[in-house]
Amino acid sequence: MMSRPTETAPQPALTIDALGKKCPIPIIMLAEQINQVPMNSVVAVLADDPAAFTDVPAWCRLKSHHHVGSYDLPQGGWAIHVRRNY
């Protein structure tokens, strides 16, 4: 899996703070909010549940959105960036 420092992450149009929440909560939050951003915009899901690291990219494949990348957060966890495709 790709993981890069936070400073290389693209600027998201929306950030969903799911830190401290267990899967599937981060995915539910993403599914509920992704339509709030314009087409081709990036949504960042902040998550520290290890399941989210694999489940969010899998959800992207399932729902035909684009997993841009997962970026390490300084406090632990990841900013998982998803580009809205439709």
Active site (catalytic) residues: 23
Q: What DSSP letter does each residue of 24-72 carry, written as one string? A: THHHHHHHHHGGGS-TT-EEEEEE--HHHHHHHHHHHHHHT-EEEEEEE
Which phi and psi angles does 6 have, rounded to 5°? -60, -35
Packing angle of the helix pair 50-63, 25-33 (nearest 10 deg): 40
